[in-house]
Chains A and B, each alone.
Chain A
């Protein structure tokens, strides 16, 4: 493909980089990335992916913008309150970069639709906010052999890593089971520092771009821990678990399951 004059200017800082160049920029423009979740992590991640010129950006989110989202979900504005998040996100990306083909899915992701959603994409980004969806995305990416960029947060703590199919490990190797909600005696509204998803979401965009370009060392096999209060990044080894029911030596999970049941209200 030939760059237009506008594209040469837009992507100049990528093209200059020896690791990217014109060839790398063409890879980005030809790539398809699926962002699941258009909220706190999805906003900075999607913004950077759009600015970088990811050719096709799918965004999945069935929720609408609420005023309480705006403290951290930076691609929605006050005027967007009440709109679907994916519509607001699409407008934001269109303002930054018309090269990006944004495909929106106003759907709740589930065992029924996830395989069709991720089938055509090169990389999947988990920017969701709950355990059932995280296990669902993990399992689906394993079965469909898609690289998965994981990010998560709570209050001041952030986590990020990359799960590569075949190579492993997967999310179940990291956390075999989610915390049962019964162990939640003090029920308070989940709080999160607004900047925290900005840091983790940007790291997710960084990893997705590296996967597309095939450059550098991804977080595969490493769990990055970010403590925003202490301002500390630490890195833990993330090993493939031989007993993992999904990707271990004697797997017991062969297809998608009911993840709400798996995660919630178990006794």
Chain B
């Protein structure tokens, strides 16, 4: 069976920018496996390791959610359209959560204390992994955008790589 698969923009980096690709198979999981053969890496964005569809991604067979059909074993027929629809959350303002990558020389400095003291921001560490030579911290910085920007600039001036955490991505 040959079907068309609609690719959401976050996953198009894996399909050479194509919005729609052809795929073959008689069930949804066969289609996904065929997609993976052509576009390596796409399956792990859609499926858990046990092949079940991730719960923040919906797969539609034509206009029907496969969760309400036979899930990944739903049968497809020639000419069907499969759509991959991820949960997205964007709408209003900028994110204020970051990953901080500390270089070795910065690990011993109380940088998070300093941004809380010197700028009008509230910090909250949500996860951290620190070894002898590198530290990675996931942090929430709350405050006015200008203050957050100053805090980020300060961290960067100390050699810390500051990367915003984009929550609403499937990539």
Interface set of A (CB-CB < 8 Å, partner B):
37-42, 61, 63-64, 66, 68-69, 73, 82, 85, 126-131, 134, 151-157, 159, 174-179, 181, 183-190, 192, 197, 223, 225, 227, 229-230, 232, 234-239, 241, 263-265
Contacts and interface: CB of A to CB of B under 8 A. Distances in A.
Contact of A229 (B9, B58, B144): B9
Contacts of B87: 131, 174-175, 178-179
Interface in B45-103: 54-56, 58, 60, 63-65, 67-68, 83, 85-95, 97, 99
Given A155-B9, A241-B67, A64 B167 contact: no
A206 B17 CA distance: 32
Given A234-B83, A236-B83, A237-B64, A157 B92 contact: no
Contact of A181 (B83, B92, B94, B165): B165
Contacts of A225: 83, 85
A39 B166 contact: no
Interface in B8-47: 8-10, 19-20
A198 to B, nearest CB: 12
Nearest to B12: A229
A179 B92 contact: no
A110 B169 CA distance: 23
Nearest to A154: B88
B144 A153 contact: no
A190 B92 contact: no
Shortest 10 CB-CB distances between A and B: which pairs? A39-B92, A154-B88, A129-B92, A187-B163, A37-B92, A175-B87, A66-B145, A179-B56, A41-B91, A129-B91
B96 to A, nearest CB: 9
Given A152-B90, A152-B91, A229-B19, A181 B56 contact: no
B89 A129 contact: yes
14 contacts: A40-B90, A41-B91, A61-B93, A63-B92, A66-B93, A128-B89, A151-B91, A152-B89, A178-B167, A179-B86, A181-B165, A185-B171, A186-B171, A237-B64
Given A134-B89, A236-B83, 10 more contacts: A63-B92, A64-B144, A128-B89, A152-B91, A154-B90, A176-B56, A230-B20, A238-B65, A263-B167, A265-B126
A127 B169 CA distance: 18
B6 interface: yes
B132 interface: no
A157 B8 contact: yes
B169 A38 contact: no
A29 B44 CA distance: 50
A234 B92 contact: no
B88 A152 contact: yes
Contact of B169 (A128, A184, A197): A184
A49 B138 CA distance: 39
Given A66-B145, A184-B165, A187-B166, A176 B92 contact: no
B88 A39 contact: no
B167 to A, nearest CB: 5
B168 A175 contact: no
B127 interface: yes
Interface string B92-124: 111101010000000000000000000000000
B95 A190 contact: yes
A127 B92 contact: yes
A234 to B, nearest CB: 7
B19 A175 contact: no
A265 B129 CA distance: 13
A81 B87 CA distance: 31
Contact of B94 (A66, A151, A187, A239): A66
A129 B93 contact: yes
B92 A187 contact: no
Contacts of B6: 227, 234
B58 A154 contact: no
A138 to B, nearest CB: 12
Nearest to A235: B63
